[in-house]
Amino acid sequence: MTYQVRFRRIYDSRAQDDGLRVLVDRIWPRGIRKEEAHVEEWLREVAPSTELRKWFGHDPDRFAEFRRRYLIELRAPECKQALQHLRDAAGENHVTLLTASRDLEHSQAAVLAGVLNERRGKQSG
């Protein structure tokens, strides 16, 4: 079976096929209690740095540059280890990356899912 890495807003209801739900934000989302979030893991290590997050400001016009800078940040040792953990998890189950970002397509969760799915495609193809 081929497992997928997907991304959703943490505020959305849990889907039956979410698999492992991993929060990939550096700070806990406002207005949601941990018990209600149904998050199995919180990997702050793969979230963008505070500086990058503030610079980006969720501005879609800055997304290409945000993605470029974020991919560089993901090369740091602590990020590599967390990414490998996500790759390993995705080899055994569906993984849903969660974020509080309103614009999912222009979020770190979208970038991470792309990275993880791309690598998995190269390994299996």
Count of structural domains within the chain: 1
pTM: 0.91
Query: What is the Cα–Cα distance from 107 to 102, expressed in whole angstroms?
Result: 8
Inform me whether the pLDDT recorded for 119 exceeds 80: no
Structure confidence at residue 121 (pLDDT): 56
Structure confidence at residue 35 (pLDDT): 87
Coil, strand or helix: which one is 61?
helix
What's the angle, vertex CA 83, arms to CA 77 and CA 85, rounded to 5? 110
Structure confidence at residue 4 (pLDDT): 87
Averaged pLDDT for residues 101-120:
91
Contact by Cβ (8 Å): 97, 24: yes
Contact by Cβ (8 Å): 74, 122: no
Averaged pLDDT for residues 24-39:
93
Give the phi and the psi of residue 41 in degrees, each rounded to 5. Answer: -145, 155
Give residue 76's domain range: 5-124
CA 122 to chain centre: 19
